[in-house]
Amino acid sequence: MDLIQAVKLYIVKMTEDCGPGMKVLLMDKTTTSIVSAVFSQSEILQREVYLFEQLTSTSSTDNMYHMKCITFLRPTRENVSLLCKELRNPRYGYYYIYFSNIISKTDIKTIAESDIQEVVREIQEYYADYLAVAPHLFSFNISSCGQCLSWDPLQLTRCTQGIISVLLSLKKCPLIRFQASSKMSKQLAEKVKEIFSKEENLFNLKQGDIQPQLLILDRREDPVSPLLMPWSYQAMVHELLTINNNQVDLSHIEDIKPDLQKLLLCAEQDDLYKQNMYKNFGEIGEIMKSLIDDFKSKAKDHQKLDTISDMKAFVENYPQFKKMSGTVAKHVVIMEQLSNFITKKNLLEVSELQQQIACDIQSSQHTQKIRDLIEKNIPEEEASKLVMLYAIKSISKDSNRELTSLIQLLKSKKVPEHWIELVYDVMKYQSKVILDNENTLKNAKQITKRFYKDLKGVDNIFTQHVPLLKELVEDMIKSRLKEEQYPFLSDINQPTKKGNHNLLILSG
């Protein structure tokens, strides 16, 4: 189950289906991101695709009948309308149309009626309606699913379509499970089930002896993990610098070289990143130092071109040598920026306290430590996160009094109102969690213990907290998930055999 390969295979098939010859790739904003996440421009050029156009803003009005047009679009009303407009006045010789998800028969009829000049050679559904971030991770690039505890109808539809696309691209028809405590999870599960029933022919897939499971979770079940400072390379880059469609934008950094302002960070095209993206910051520093030392050594060796053999060896190795030097330079720049953020935001001290709050029910010392750090004028974001963490674990009247005083301290430090509002939102959410669970102090403590673990003898004080998701994945693999907490959306009983293909969807 490799999501990147699944999307790649679809795109390769698109370029092969229309045969040899010059091609243009006509996309929308979403499918452009989907393609660029798995293919570099040089790779797609090798497949005879020489022109890239946006359906919403075609840059050329010239007719190019010698080119074949591969059209890869989401099946939205707007895209169908724009495609029909394109077909009524075609600029290319032939059109091979591919939709990233299920398209209605009505829309197909509308497209056919617009094809007056009969330039359409093919219409297919290729289920690549998601951003393949990693072989095991996908995203729909949605910033928010809704407000409070309810879905935005448009985003509910988008998430449903995306999940259907993932399942069809992997050729899986799973049993559906959802988080019983989340209405949003159940709603999404029911929508997916509706599509299963409506598109029964598409999901008539051979599954073997053990049917896979789709588990839909509400990420609000674990409000702690997103507030903690991550220390693995990929997570740190995204947290501190932001990765957007496999690109890190450093153009705002003063005196940075033009060629290093926008950096591609893609495991498929960067072996160094692929091998080290999940290692911690300290390990990455040692690896970079070792690579630079090796690079210096090789550079000295290449200065000695005394013989024809030396010259031949240099010519043979130079492309890889040059590529490696550029890769190392890129990661050194990123590491430098991460290091600057750690110092500037006092993240070592902040992260240590975050872990102490997350892993220790006793809060007697935490309040003063939070005060001390806020008084040090740590950045408003880090100060607010500490107070939010404290708010999540506050379950007594004394804690609530302390929390109120911490909020007042944030206000006195001129922390922007939107951060204060987030603290209040966390407090409201925490109150609802306790209320939904019989409103007893004893039960509230049990809930809290699911989030925080007091780990003794750990080697790394910055990574003590174990996310709830990890526990759920392990339980799911071992068929230990409790059915009353994560029921099946059917009358089917929980399988007794362990499944080897499980999909998890986090929403909220």
Region 336-357: what's the mean pLDDT? 92
pLDDT tens digit sequence for 101-112:
999 999 999 999
d(CA 356, CA 462): 9
More confident residue, 443 or 262: 262
Structure confidence at residue 233 (pLDDT): 94
- For residues 315 and 378, state if they share a domain: no
Question: What is this structure's pTM?
Answer: 0.85
Whichever domain contains 292, its CATH number is: 3.90.830
d(CA 53, CA 350): 46
Note every long-range contact of 308-314, with CB atoms under 8 Å and residues 24 or more positions apart, other chains counting.
Answer: none
d(CA 494, CA 482): 9
- For residues 312 and 279, state if they share a domain: yes
d(CA 186, CA 163): 14
Q: Does 436 map to a domain?
A: yes
Contacts of 188 (CB under 8 A, 6+ apart): 151, 156, 159, 160, 163, 178, 216, 505, 507
More confident residue, 498 or 113: 113
Q: Does 20 map to a domain?
A: yes
Structure confidence at residue 221 (pLDDT): 84
What tokens were used for 339? 């290091």
pLDDT tens digit sequence for 12-47:
999 999 999 999 999 999 999 999 999 988 899 999
| Mean pLDDT taken over the chain | 84
d(CA 426, CA 429): 5
- For residues 327 and 366, state if they share a domain: no
Domain endpoint, select from 344, 370, 402: 344
d(CA 422, CA 190): 30
H or E segment and range at residue 157: helix 153-169
What tokens were used for 223? 């409000």
d(CA 181, CA 178): 9
Q: Does 62 map to a domain?
A: yes
pLDDT tens digit sequence for 444-463:
344 334 433 433 444 577 88
- For residues 340 and 389, state if they share a domain: no
- For residues 391 and 282, state if they share a domain: no
pLDDT tens digit sequence for 377-434:
899 999 999 999 998 877 655 677 888 999 999 999 999 999 999 998 887 766 555 4
Structure confidence at residue 508 (pLDDT): 54
Domain endpoint, select from 132, 163, 196: 132
Whichever domain contains 87, its CATH number is: 3.40.50.2060
- For residues 340 and 352, state if they share a domain: no
At 443, is the pLDDT very low, low, confident or very high (cuts 50, 70, 90)?
A: very low
User: Is residue 345 over pLDDT 80?
Assistant: yes
Domain range for residue 52? 3-132
Which of the listed ranges 159-173, 243-257, 330-344, 400-414 does the model predict with the highest average pLDDT? 159-173
Convert 111-149 to b/e letters by CB count within 10 Å (16 or more is b). beebbeeebbeebebbbbbbbbbbeeebebbeeebeeee
H or E segment and range at residue 5: helix 3-17
- How deeply is 174 buried, as exposed, middle or buried, from its count of CB atoms within 10 A (0-12, 13-18, 19+)? buried
- For residues 360 and 440, state if they share a domain: yes
Domain endpoint, select from 425, 451, 477: 451
Q: Does 213 map to a domain?
A: no
**Residue 472, CB-side half-sphere exposure with 13 Å CA sphere:** 24
More confident residue, 42 or 320: 42
Nearest by Cα to 464 from 450, 449, 478, 454: 454
d(CA 55, CA 271): 34
Domain count, the chain: 3
pLDDT tens digit sequence for 205-249:
776 667 889 999 988 888 899 999 999 999 999 999 999 888 999
- For residues 262 and 335, state if they share a domain: yes
Structure confidence at residue 456 (pLDDT): 40
Nearest by Cα to 167 from 218, 214, 234, 227: 214
More confident residue, 111 or 321: 111
Region 345-351: what's the mean pLDDT? 94
